[in-house]
Amino acid sequence: MPRYNPQSIEPKWQKVWLDQKTFRTPGLDTLDRSKPKAYILDMFPYPSGAGLHVGHPEGYTATDIVSRYKRMRGFNVLHPMGWDAFGLPAEQYALRTGTHPSITTKTNVDTFRRQIQSLGLSYDWDREVDTTDPSYYRWTQWIFSKLYETWYDPAIRKGRPISQLEIPSGVLAQGDKAVAEFVGSKRLAYTAEVSVNWCEAMKAVLANEEVTGEGRSVEGNHPVVKRPLKQWMLRIPLYAERLIEDLELVDWPDAIKEMQRNWIGKSHGAEVDFQVCGSSDKIRVYTTRPDTLFGATYMVLAPEHALVAQITTPAQLAEVKAYQEQAARKSDLERTDLAKGKSGVWTGAKAVNPVNGEQIPVWISDYVLATYGTGAIMAVPAHDSRDWEFAKTFDLPIIRVLDGGKPDECWEEDGPHINSSNGEISLDGLGLTDAVEKITAFLAAKGAGEPKVNYRLRDWLFSRQRYWGEPFPLIHWEDGTISLVHDSELPVRLPEMERFEPSGTGESPLANATDWLNVTDPVTGKKGRRETNTMPQWAGSCWYYIRYIDPRNAQTLIDNELAKYWLPVDLYVGGAEHAVLHLLYSRFWHKVLFDLGVVEHAEPFHKLYNQGMILAFAYEDARKATVQSSLVEERDGGWFHKETGEKLNQIVAKMSKTLGNVVTPDEVVASHGADAMRLYLMFMGPLDRAKPWQSNGIEGVHRFLSRVWRLLVDEDAENLVLKPLANTESVELERLRHQTILKVQEDIEGMRFNTAISQLMVYVNGLFEALPATPGAAAGVPGVAAETLVQLLSPFAPHLADELWSLLGRSSTLAYHPWPVGEPSKAEEDSVEIALQVNGKLRDNAKVSKSATKEELLALAKANAKVQKFLEGQVIVKEIVVPGKIVNIVAKPA
RNA sequence: GUCCCGGUGGUGGAAUCGGUAGACACAGCGGACUUAAAAUCCGCAGACCUCGGUCGUGCGGGUUCAAAUCCCGCCCGGGACACCA
């Protein structure tokens, strides 16, 4: 009767773990800090209305296995879960349904928590955080206050309190307003009228990182246009250098590090001044190829460049103005579309090339970006493809200064310089590196330029005109000053509002919360208005890993001692889609907090691991049109359309409603149990690889768990009882046991869960084989084997393991039971099978003693009949013996 | 266009300090048990042929006694970036 029944044992153990707080991590008072620690973190989810999908449990299971394993190895483990619950989708859903986002958020969180708990994950639920909880966002606001009150000191490469900023006497002399302006120009958080990415469909501003290369929103793929708005910005580029350097300190996938480096986009070059003819104005350009300066035949300014108005000649004014207006109206998409040709207008002005005195025309064009470098370039058409295209379009002169490539093609590679000399300097004959060095020194000496490092990374646009986000702790006073809400008055709560639609004007919905909006200074009677923008969703997720360590601390963000002990996060698992956004922002905030002494480590996440996406099979017909999975049947080793009978191809695709191939965790838990689901997710393949869900696969692991159950439990008995266990273990089983312990622990440490599980299967197969042929015969599975198997299985299938553990007569959970000891000496085989080769081809195998010498192996090979057959009529040329592996005899015809 | 990752049986995948390719599973085939089915257990299983071999890790070369593994050149799939001067 008592068959393996996950539906009854899983809820039972989940209740025990929850009720007894089995996975509670001690707080400061009871924490034994002499023990090693493991902070194992999942990227917390956005609790959407759709509930958990199978991708979530993949990463969660992996971290859960590591957490459970580390506990058994005697580590203090911190393994928390929480909710990234602010954000646009909740607000949009609320607007559609008329339900307040705080209500839908609560419902969704409850669903997510129930689903996650049904997977048996060993989270400490006492540490749950929710970014929308005022007691949480109080500290998000606090961190913003710190950003506002911090400036970056380039001399010591650190963020410092604004109180330590020295005000130049010249600024002091100009009065309070000038001082405020000066300080504002140094704060890490500042407000500015900027051209922003405005998404009409979302009625909100987006950060650069939230806009795709096609000029559409990452969320929802809506069109995005440029529009000037007053916004809060964060000066993340000041930390660019450290954000690049400190990638050396962390153990992250190379691909992610590379993406961050690319995003920060450091480049070395020089700034060069060009004198405008007939004017005192100079145009400063940034170039990474100062060595090509002799080939500069014209210049281009961004249409928004400040000098355009001053240098444009009256004759060109109308045309220039028209072009500027046209450019301003274009979206980034239209401006950067590579398919379109180059456009531009001559300003009428000329400037002097500082190395050869040539007067060259100054153009404006939208292919030059106002926001990068100086917003102006020197154009070297012979050696830059963009300049080449522009010069060809407008018939501008092209001078080659590098020897290489075909005569009528642009050459962007290295080569000996030509046509590059004047009376004072010559680059002719030099290669790229030498030429750059020489010309840069020359320009510096003449005061016409200097070496310069540039970053692609821009200031982070940090405000949104939405309701469902953290309010800024700021007040705009009637006298034009801005002040922070005092720490003691935090949090600034998000007001309860009935209507919170975005206005569409760029004004946040909070502007309508009249009672909340207006404030009066109790001391001076001065009137003010709260900041009505809210923070972007990234704000809450930037620092949640810190709060988990000390989640209920009402006095400070985090206790210093706890921060010292638990940080950094030892293992951080999540999807690769956060490669630049969340992970870059988080590192930036962490560095600011590091500079302020809140945390003691330069980097927040030591080891990062990206789980691959769970895909699913889908079907398409000969025209490559996809077919709903419900209309597909499998027969005769192929797939066919149920209605038309057409033969279909199996493909791998993302799970989607349209393909009808979505699998939800709830249905898998219901049909096969959480343990089977966990095991299958890990058995599918390497964690970091994308792989398709196969319903047959889950059957397979379920069968394995049933086999384990049957190995130990007497299914014929009326009640739940163990089969009789044997007292002694054969030499072979002992060896297999030690091999299994060692393999499983190595594989868990290396995050190779699929091969750990196969080893467990090998062990179970071995135990079955060793059972007496006749059922009921005296000895069953050796007791030590039974206990070890259950222990090794427990990180993977914790419900089954705890159930069997209690059947084995142990009263408490396995969660903190010491991991079994695997001894390499006992795992070693005493004989090995080696390959006998002739000329590199396998001819026979031989079982030999592990200690056999080279001579013995060679003699054995030569005595082998099959080997001899292939040596007939041959002369031996060479003999290679690798003990424990192969003997290879090289021979050639006599 | 540039960068990164990958390509192994019918399927998911093992094996990379170069040393017996295909562990473990899924699907398949055969057998046992059963009135029958399910479940379970045992066995077979890369391809090709003359049953002793030959070929075989996307394709073509190379290094080596020996290559899935290292090198060169391609092809295909996935991801990221893309007028950043």
| Residue whose Cα is closest to the C1' of B78 | A690
Q: What is the pLDDT of residues A42-78, one digit of tens each?
A: 999 999 888 888 888 999 999 999 999 999 999 999 9
Residue A425 has pLDDT above 80, yes or no: yes
Nearest nucleotide to A214 (CA to C1') is: B82
Q: CA of A258 vs C1' of B47, distance in Å?
A: 42
* Interatomic separation, CA of residue A144 and C1' of nucleotide B26, rounded (Å): 53
- Give the nearest nucleotide to A690, CA to C1': B78
Q: Which residues of A695-716 are buried (b: 16+ CB within 10 A; e: fewer)?
A: eebbeebbebbbebbebbbbee
Q: How confident is the model at residue A174 (pLDDT cuts 50, 70, 90)?
A: very high
A692 CA to B77 C1' distance (Å): 15
Position A593 scores a pLDDT of: 97
Residue nearest the C1' of B6 (CA based): A689
Using the structure, give the distance in angstroms from the CA atom of A263 to the C1' atom of B2, rounded to a whole number. 14
- Distance of C1' in B45 from CA in A304, Å: 71
The separation, in Å, between residue A619 CA and nucleotide B60 C1' comes to 33
Distance between CA atoms of A287 and A289, rounded to whole angstroms?
5
Q: Which percentage of chain A shows pLDDT scores above 70?
A: 95
Closest nucleotide over all strands to A385 (CA to C1'): B83
**Contact (Cβ atoms closer than 8 angstroms) between residue A410 and residue A240:** no
Residue A653, strand partner residues: A616
Nearest nucleotide to A698 (CA to C1') is B26
- The nucleotide minimizing the C1' distance to residue A340's CA is B83
Mean pLDDT for chain A overall: 88
Instruction: Point out the nucleotide closest to A884 (alpha carbon to C1′).
Output: B19
Span CA (A723) to C1' (B29), Å: 34
Measured from the Cβ of residue A320, the count of other Cβ atoms closer than 10 Å reads 21
Residue A197 pLDDT level (bands cut at 50, 70, 90): confident
User: Interface pTM (ipTM) of the complex?
Assistant: 0.94
Which nucleotide is nearest to A337 if distance is taken from CA to C1'?
A: B83
Q: Which nucleotide is nearest to A254 (CA to C1')?
A: B4
**pLDDT exceeds cutoff 80 at A571:** yes
- What is the rounded CA–CA span in Å between residue A721 and residue A809? 11
Query: How many helices and strands in chain A, by DSSP H and E?
Result: 29, 33
A871 CA → B45 C1’, Å: 32
Give the nucleotide nearest to A870 (CA→C1'): B53
Q: Which of A469, A474, A471 is nearest to A485 (CA)?
A: A474
Contacts of A221 (CB under 8 A, 6+ apart): A212
Identify the residue whose Cα has the smallest distance to the C1' of B10.
Answer: A637
Q: What is the pLDDT, as a whole number, of residue A490?
A: 86
Angle, CA of A118, A121 and A127, to the nearest 5°: 110
Task: Check residue A195 and give its pLDDT.
Answer: 72
Averaged over A833-838, what is the pLDDT? 88
| Cβ-proximal residues to A334 (8 Å cutoff; 6+ apart), any chain | A215, A340
Pick from A594, A603, A609, A588: nearest CA to A264:
A588
For the CA of A888 and the C1' of B19, the distance in angstroms is 9
Beta strands A605-610; A569-574: pairing state: parallel
Residue A424: pLDDT above 90? no
Of the candidate ranges A78-82, A277-281, A701-705, the one whose mean pLDDT is the lowest: A277-281
Beta strands in A277-420 (DSSP E): 282-287, 298-301, 345-352, 359-364, 376-379
Q: Where does residue A340 rank: exposed (0-12), middle (13-18), buried (19+ CB within 10 A)?
A: exposed
Query: Which domains are delineated in chain A?
Result: 36-141+546-610 (3.40.50.620), 267-454 (3.90.740.10), 614-659 (no CATH), 663-825 (1.10.730.10), 829-893 (3.10.20.590)
**Quick one: which H or E segment has residue A606?**
strand A605-610
Q: Which nucleotide, over all strands, has the C1' atom closest to the CA of A290?
A: B85
Residue at minimum CA to C1' distance from nucleotide B15: A755
* A691 nearest nt, CA–C1': B12
The tokens for A879 are 């003999």
Å: A842 CA to B56 C1'? 14
| Amino acid A338: pLDDT | 56
CA distances from A476 to A33, A149, A378, A523, A894 (A): 46, 16, 43, 16, 98
Strand B positions within 7 A of protein Cβ atoms: 3-5, 11-15, 19-21, 23-27, 39-42, 53-55, 65-67, 78-85
pLDDT recorded at residue A331: 61
Residue nearest to nucleotide B82 (CA to C1'): A213
Q: Minimal CA–CA distance to A260: which of A603, A571, A744, A659?
A: A603
Mean pLDDT over residues A105-130, rounded?
96
Rounded, the Å distance between the CA of A743 and C1' of B23 is: 13
Q: What is the pLDDT of residue A632?
A: 76
Q: Show the tokens assigned to A87.
A: 């954000």
Q: Which has the minimum average pLDDT: A104-118, A422-436, A475-489, A544-558? A: A422-436
- Residue A371 (CA) to nucleotide B72 (C1'), in angstroms, measures 42
CA A507 to CA A417: how far, in whole Å?
Answer: 56
Spatial distance between the Cα atoms of A588 and A238, rounded to a whole number of angstroms: 10
Report CA(A837)–C1'(B57) in Å, whole number.
Answer: 20
Residue A348 gets the label, from left (phi > 0), alpha (psi -120 to 50) or beta, of left
Could you tell me which residues come within 8 angstroms of residue A600 by beta carbon, excluding any fewer than 6 positions away? A563, A564, A567, A594
- CA A843 → C1' B67, Å? 19
Please report, rounded to whole angstroms, the spatial distance between the CA atom of protein residue A571 and the C1' atom of nucleotide B15.
27
Residues A404, A405, A409, A412, Cα dihedral to 10°? -60
A233 CA to B66 C1' in angstroms comes to 62
Report how far residue A190's alpha carbon sits from residue A270's, in angstroms, rounded to the nearest whole number: 28
Nucleotide closest in space to A764 (CA vs C1'): B24
